[in-house]
Structure 1
Amino acid sequence: MKRIHNIVQKSSFLVELNGLTKLVRMKQWVKNFFVLAPLVFSNQFLNINAVISALFAFLLFCLAASAVYIVNDLKDIEKDRAHPQKSIHRPLASGMVSPMSAVVLLVLIYMLLALAWFYFPKIIYVIFLYLLLNFAYTFKLKHEPVIEIFVIALGFVLRVYAGAVALSVPVSHWMFITTLSISLYLASIKRRQELVGSGVKGRGVLEYYSVSLIDRFAEMSAISSIVFYSLYVMQVQPKLIMSIPFVMFGLFRYWFIVETLKGGESPTDVLLQDWQIILTVLLWVGICAWVLLDI
C-alpha cells in the first residue's frame, strides 16, 4: 500500500509539474524574439557582450510574459471553467494546477525579476512598465474595444524597446512604428479568428466588433507595416531593400492562412507550424545579417 501511495504521489507531482509548464506557456515565448531585433539592426550580433545582454533581456521578458499569463489565468479561472475548450486546456481551469501552486510560482517569478533589477535596472524598468500595462489589460482594458488591440501591440513595442535598452542603443522611429503596425496586424487577425471561430462567447469584447471592421483594421495595419518598413530600409539601410519582398510575402502568406486555411487565432502556432512562414523568417533574418555584416 505504501508503494502504491508513493506512486500516486509521484504521479500527482508529475501532473502538476506538467501543468506548471503549460501555465507559463513556454511556446508563447517565441513572441519575445522581438527583443532581439535591435541586436540585428544595430549591427552588434557579432559582439559577444551585446549578444549576452540581449539574451538576458530576452530571458527576463520570458519570465515577465509568463507572470502575465499566470495573473490572467488566476483572474479568469471561473470563466475558463465554463468554456468548452479552456476548461480542458488551461491548467488552472482543468485542475492540473492548484491556484496556490500558481500563486507560489508567480511570487517566485516576481522575486527573480526583483533580483534582476540589481544587475539590469534599465531592462527591469521597461519590464515593470510591461507588467503594469498588462495588469491594467487583465482587469480593465481587455474589455475596451480598439484600446485592447493597441495594448497587445504596445507589448511588442516594449519588447523591442527592452532589447534596445539592453544594448544602450536608441530605438529608431521607423522600428517603433513598423513594430507597432505589424503587432496591430497580428492582434487584429487574432481577434478576427476568435470572432469567426467562437463568436462573442469566446471573449466579451468581441461583441463590439464585426468581421468586416476587423478586416479593415488588419488591412490598414498590413499596409502600414509594408510602407513603414520600406521607408526605413530606403532611408536608413538601403542595402536591405532585397528584404522587402520577404516581408511582403510573409504578410501575404499569413493572410492566406487566415482566409483559406482558417488559421491565425494563434500567431505563435502559425509561426511554428507553417513551413513557408518559417522559411520566410529564416531567409529574412539571413539576408539582414548578411547585408549588415557587409556594411
Structure 2
Amino acid sequence: MHFTTDTPSKKTVVLGLLRLMRPKQWIKNTFVLAPLMFTGLFLDFHSVTQSLIVMILFCCASSATYILNDLHDIEADRKHPKKSKTRPLAQGIVKPAQGIMLLVVLYACLGLGFVFHPQSILVIAGYLVLNLAYSFVLKHQPVVDIFIIAIGFVLRTWAGAEALDVDLSSWMFVTTLSLALFLAAVKRRQELQLSGDQGRKVLEHYTVSLVERYAEMAATAALLFYSLFVMDKHEDMVLTIPFVLFGLFRYWFIVEANEEGESPTDALYSDWQLIVCILCWIGVSMWALWPSAISVAV
C-alpha cells in the first residue's frame, strides 16, 4: 500500500482536495461552448456569459462525479500500482469525510445554479444520474461503458444549447457522439495496452483489435458527419475540415508512437501540434462564422 498514516499539513490537504476535483479534466467541459460557436452568438455578451456559467456548473458536476467515483473505489485504488500514488483518497492525503464535505459543497453550487439555469441544470442532473449508474453498475458492462462516457460529452453540448435557449441540432448531436466514442475507444485501447485486463474489470471483455475497430469506425463517422454538417449548415467552414483530419491523425499518432491516450486530456496537454491544430480550427471557425455573428450581435 502507498497511502500514509501521517497527518498531512493543511496545505497538503487543500492541494489534495484540489487534485480530487481533477481540474485538468475540466477542459472536457469546453464542449459546452460548441453551440455558442456554431450559432454565431460568440460576439453576444449575454450569450457568452450564460455559456461560461453553465460550463462552470458542468465543472462542478464533473468534479462531483470524480469524487464520488474515488470514494466508491478507494479500496481498489489503494491496491492499484498507479492510482495508489496519484489519487488523494487512496494516498491518505484526503480523508473520506473531507471528500464527502467537498462533494456536498459542489452539489450545493449546482443547486444554486438551478435558480439561474433550470434547463441546463436538468441536463447536468441527467449527467450526474448517468455517472452514478456508471460508477456503481454500468462501468462493468462492455460496450455500454464506452457509450456512457461518450454520452457525457453529448450532454455537455446539450447543456450548452440550453444555456442559449436553442435546440441542439441533430448534426451536432451525432458528430459529438461519434467523436466522443472515438476518444473513449482509444482510452480503452490504451488501458489494455498498458495494464492488460488488470486495470478495470470490464477490460476482460475487450481485445486491442476490437477496440481499435471501434475507434476507427467512430473516427470515420465523426469526420463524415462533421463534413456533412458544415457543408449543409455552414459552407464557409469547409476550410476547417483539414484541421479535423489532422487532429484525428495526430491524436492517433500520439497514441501509437508515444503510448498516450489513456487520458485524452494528458495527450492534448503534452502535444503542441495538437494544441496548435485546435487553436487554428477555432480561429478559422470564428472567421467563417464572423458575418453571421455580427448580424446576430447587431
How high is the TM-score relative to the length of structure 2?
0.95
Alignment of 1:133-148 (within 5 A): 133-148=130-145
Measured in 1, the distance between the counterparts of 2:56 and 2:93 equals 26
Structure 2 match to 1:252? 249
Where does 1:45-124 land on structure 2 (aligned, <5 Å)?
45-124=42-121
Alpha-carbon distance between aligned partners in 2 of 1:261 and 1:113, rounded to the nearest angstrom: 38
How far does the alpha carbon of each residue in 1:38-65 deviate from its partner, in whole angstroms, 9 at most, with x for none? Answer: 0000000000000000000000000000
Q: Where does residue 264 of structure 2 map in the other structure?
A: 267
Report the counterpart of residue 32 of structure 2 in structure 1: 35
1:134-174 CA-partner distances (Å, limit 9, x unpaired): 00000000000000000000000000000000001111111
| Aligned residue identity for 1:237 | H
Q: Which of 271, 274, 278 is the equivalent residue of 1:277?
A: 274
- Equivalent residue of 1:194, what SS? helix
Counterpart position of 2:214: 217
Q: 1:126 aligns with which of 98, 123, 127?
A: 123
1:164 to 153, 161, 166: 161
CA distance in 2, matches of 1:119, 1:262: 43
Number of residue pairs aligned between Structure 1 and Structure 2: 287
Tell me whether 214-223 or 116-125 shows the greater mean CA deviation.
116-125
Equivalence for 1:4: none
Give the letter for the 1:271 counterpart.
L
1:15 to 5, 12, 17: 12
C-alpha distance in 2 between matches for 1:68 and 1:134: 7
Q: What CA distance in whole angstroms lies between the structure 2 residues aligned with 1:233 and 1:50?
A: 22
Distance in 2, matches of 1:223 and 1:75, equals 36
Describe the SS at the equivalent of 2:156. helix
Partner residue in 2 for 1:5:
none
Q: Does the alignment pair 1:237 with 2:238?
A: no
1:178 counterpart = 2:175: yes
Aligned mates of 1:39, 1:120 — CA distance in 2: 16
The unaligned stretches of length 5 or more in structure 1 are 1-7
CA-CA distance at 1:294 after TM superposition? 2.6
Which structure has more relative contact order (CA 8 Å, sep 6+)? It is: 2
Alignment RMSD: 1.0
Shift of the alpha carbon at 1:270? 1.2
State the SS of the aligned residue for 1:125.
helix
Counterpart of 1:199 in structure 2: which amino acid? G
Query: Matches of 1:38 and 1:268 in 2, distance apart?
Result: 21
Amino acid at match of 1:264: G
When normalised by structure 1's length, the TM-score is 0.96
Moved over 3 A (4+): none
Q: Percent identity?
A: 54
SS at match of 2:243: helix
* 1:175-234 superposed Cα distances (whole Å, 9 cap, x missing partner): 000000000000000000000000111111000000000000000000001100000011
Q: Secondary structure at the match of 1:118?
A: helix
- Could you list the runs of 5+ residues in structure 2 that have no partner in the other structure? 1-5, 293-298
Rounded Cα–Cα distance in structure 2 between residues aligned with 1:85 and 1:118: 40
Match of 1:260, SS?
A: helix
